[in-house]
Structure 1
């Protein structure tokens, strides 16, 4: 005999609605639900982002209220529809307008509530990226950062690494080389757009595994490097293993696309025999190559010329 629930469907519905209202008030992010070109439900942060407060609300208003022009609304709508039909969310930056007429740049992440009905209700996540966008436009920023992942680029990484090679400060400094296994297969199967979003997400994941004083960079394609000042080989191994396991557990969810990969990591502590930046990077790459040759999803440590140490993987 099946036990009867003590909670009626209407009570469960009321409870769900109450939870949603609490979430929309307290969530520290701009969240909105849109249907038929109108805001059905928005978070308090979403309202504040557009200059609304206790006396005014975006709920019930047309989405046209947040666009700078009719043409802008049409353009975003067309791009959103095309993305949803192809099974992908929309993730891009657009210029929006507040209630008082002031403008800001926002990163809009929109996805259908139900993928089998892409023209139905959609979920919007919005973030004010005005300052970040201005920084990206500065020549000094573009010269030091990778445009796709917003991490440091090769030039900046080599410059920072060069400050430690040959240094007489005697503080231990280590370098990691991260190579994603079989990433070309992801791109071949899902396309370069999905691959780009995967690389961005992977870069953000790597940042969570290091200290604020460390430097994570994308050097080329699916290769990342990490500079660990004041970090000896032992602790560098620990960081590398955290990164390896984190990548193995990471899943890209991009619309209807789902994928996961693994990675190999080479570790090297700067030593007197590695006299140049290229030598240090080369040692880390060689250690990573050993990890790949062993089957992937593993960490290897460069000890000395021709010597490697295997870590768990």
Structure 2
């Protein structure tokens, strides 16, 4: 069906009859073969549109019945009139149907114009010398190609492309067909595939990469080709004929080249070559254009998929494989050979945050890219390197089965990494640490190797910069111990395994108890009573700090109420609880504290909150807001371990603090160290200036008591007076009050 010629006829017919659409349909079809206008664009929707289309099909079939002698046929649907006339040519049986969007009757002139248009359509079909059967085969070919290309992936693309080229070559009875792509970098047309593949390809292949800057008439055009281009023997395309003759050994060929267009950009061509002369009908060219469009859509989709795949498996900043790619590649290696000799190195640059803070994140990113480049250049091509996150890199070294050899490689890498780098005009140098794990019978896949190397890296960072540590049995036991703690801690709070011990605080002048500090302990089912230092870091890592902190607060308030109820004499003036940064700025922390005070009947001054200097400085604004809320409740606030950083000195004036607890590191050698005495004296004077109370921590020697009293610090806690006691021991003590200085 020569649509380019017939459609203008339909347009003239529609305008002459004041129609909204004019279609040529086959009786056994239903979808217009050629169309002008659209009932749907004219506002027909839903059931009305379906009814109209069925009426068009029925009327066309009626007009084409009785060998087309039915003449002009009329029909209508509500609000529309239909007029049809038969069209027959060779094996084609169908008709032309026009639709008018009003109830006006058809005039004789409308019928005459329609009959003339039908005759002209038949003439065009006859002149086109294309049978309806060949037209159907072309339609079927386009449908086949569309179905073949639908849903294929980048991996399947080469095989599918070759198969499609073969089908096209056989269908059009050509001797070879090809697919080429434009390469702006090479400024050339590059052969993607050809059918059939030449058994003897010259080297170099004159058809492999052909520069755009050439005298060849076809290859000079492919860069910007927008319409199909044809070559036939004798039309003075000698350069092309010579190129084909040199590559395939064939003289005098016909060629058809169809562009693959993405918008206004030609990114390739689909080509056909026939040995000898061949003409291409308009309908065949239409089919080739449709197939080229399908290939364009396919390559666009595959290209997008490849970009997404690259992004999913590569680090955006450095271009290195990311964790996902690394894990999948290493897993494939270990699945094939579980005990393959292999060392895994986990490398971490030290203090990258300082670079970002001082020089800016742009310089920090440039530094990371430079480090990645050095790593790539320092390992072998078959080694695997990836960036996991931030300043963390991982390298899998093939063929290494001993820690000693891996450590030698790691130290060589450290020497490379720590060499100063010129980054954006700044000389940047960072130390680094490396953790190593060796594949072997004791490891169980990628997760084990990464986990072991991570543990070794943490140990290396503890020891200081430019350190290499290999995972060993000692670290393995530490890892197992931590895993056991993590597993059990997740249920320990709810299972009632946590305990509170209380360390008394005393007035050094009178010996009277002034407060108790609640200290959490874990009654481990197998290891017995564990102090906080054995598990609190794990609590923080598994995000249980808030849950444990609220349990400690409530248990301390409950126990204080119990002491009040049962003690026959004095009760602790107050109980103090250590609060982490996360707890302090958690949602409605002030409200939670107020609820506890109300629930257990405590005066606000009976509860003290202790925070460290680092907690104060982490989120000053949020911390200040929470502390002001606690101050409004009347709760006592103490800064614990004061003096270790001096970072909060500038904030003391605005912080609602009542007590400064002097860190034990200044108290332990107070009697003998003039420097410590000067620091403690300064803290005491500072507290006096702000009308704050000072409490010394870690008092273990009588000489420290005398020194503290001499400096004006009158409160203290430490093993000299009492170690932390259970709630029952505190109750016993309360029932037998006295001077307990030195009793523990």
Question: What TM-score do you get using the length of structure 1 for normalisation?
Answer: 0.52
- Aligned match of 1:296 in 462, 465, 468? 465
- Aligned match of 1:215 in 374, 384, 396? 384
Distance 1:175 1:50, change over 3 A: closer
Question: 231-240 or 155-164: which moved more?
Answer: 231-240
Q: Which runs of 5+ in 2 are unaligned?
A: 1-184, 188-302, 478-744
Deviation at 1:218, TM superposition (A): 0.3
- How many Å separate the matches in 2 of 1:207 and 1:135? 27
* CA contact 2:432–2:466 (8 Å) conserved in 1: yes
Q: Give the paired residue count.
A: 179
> 1:248 maps to which residue?
418
* CA contact 1:209–1:243 (8 Å) conserved in 2: yes
Question: Deviation string for 1:158-178 (max 9, x for gaps)?
Answer: 112212446546431110000
Question: Deviation string for 1:68-102 (max 9, x for gaps)?
Answer: xxxxxxxxxxxxxxxxxxxxxxxxxxxxxxxxxxx
> 1:235 maps to which residue?
405
* CA contact 1:175–1:269 (8 Å) conserved in 2: yes
> 1:226 maps to which residue?
395
Deviation at 1:249, TM superposition (A): 1.1
Deviation at 1:136, TM superposition (A): 11
Question: Deviation string for 1:11-45 (max 9, x for gaps)?
Answer: xxxxxxxxxxxxxxxxxxxxxxxxxxxxxxxxxxx
Q: Are residue 140 (structure 1) and residue 312 (structure 2) matched? A: no
- How many Å separate the matches in 2 of 1:186 and 1:143? 28
> 2:455 maps to which residue?
286
What is the root-mean-square deviation in Å for CA atoms of aligned residues? 2.9
- The residue correspondences of 1:158-177 to structure 2 (distance < 5 A) are 158-165=327-334, 168=337, 170-177=339-346
- The residue correspondences of 1:116-195 to structure 2 (distance < 5 A) are 138-165=307-334, 168=337, 170-195=339-364
- How many Å separate the matches in 2 of 1:148 and 1:260? 20
Return the structure number with greater relative CO, CA threshold 8 A, min gap 6. Answer: 1
- Aligned match of 2:374 in 205, 212, 233? 205
Distance 1:250 1:307, change over 3 A: farther
- How many Å separate the matches in 2 of 1:160 and 1:219? 14
Question: Deviation string for 1:120-143 (max 9, x for gaps)?
Answer: xxxxxxxxxxxxxx9997233222
* CA contact 1:146–1:218 (8 Å) conserved in 2: yes
- How many Å separate the matches in 2 of 1:281 and 1:169? 15
Larger Rg: 2
- How many Å separate the matches in 2 of 1:295 and 1:168? 36
* CA contact 2:460–2:469 (8 Å) conserved in 1: yes
* CA contact 1:135–1:141 (8 Å) conserved in 2: no
- How many Å separate the matches in 1 of 2:411 and 2:470? 11
**Secondary structure of residue in 1 paired with 2:418:** helix
- How many Å separate the matches in 1 of 2:305 and 2:382? 21
- How many Å separate the matches in 1 of 2:460 and 2:340? 27
Deviation at 1:222, TM superposition (A): 0.6
Deviation at 1:262, TM superposition (A): 1.1
> 2:428 maps to which residue?
259
Question: Deviation string for 1:232-264 (max 9, x for gaps)?
Answer: 23432222111111111131331x322211100
- How many Å separate the matches in 2 of 1:135 and 1:266? 38
* CA contact 1:210–1:239 (8 Å) conserved in 2: no
* CA contact 1:166–1:275 (8 Å) conserved in 2: no
- How many Å separate the matches in 2 of 1:221 and 1:204? 15
* CA contact 1:175–1:225 (8 Å) conserved in 2: yes
Deviation at 1:268, TM superposition (A): 0.9
Structure having the larger proportion of residues in helix = 2
- How many Å separate the matches in 2 of 1:186 and 1:137? 35
- How many Å separate the matches in 2 of 1:160 and 1:232? 19
* CA contact 1:148–1:200 (8 Å) conserved in 2: yes
**Secondary structure of residue in 2 paired with 1:155:** helix
- The residue correspondences of 1:91-106 to structure 2 (distance < 5 A) are none
* CA contact 2:347–2:435 (8 Å) conserved in 1: yes
- How many Å separate the matches in 1 of 2:317 and 2:304? 15
Q: Are residue 272 (structure 1) and residue 438 (structure 2) matched? A: no
Question: Deviation string for 1:162-207 (max 9, x for gaps)?
Answer: 1244654643111000010111111111111111111011000001
> 1:117 maps to which residue?
none
- How many Å separate the matches in 2 of 1:212 and 1:135? 28
Question: Deviation string for 1:198-219 (max 9, x for gaps)?
Answer: 1011000001111100111000
Deviation at 1:227, TM superposition (A): 1.2
- How many Å separate the matches in 2 of 1:210 and 1:135? 32
> 2:637 maps to which residue?
none
* CA contact 2:346–2:435 (8 Å) conserved in 1: yes
Q: Which runs of 5+ in 1 are unaligned?
A: 1-48, 52-133, 309-313
Deviation at 1:276, TM superposition (A): 3.4
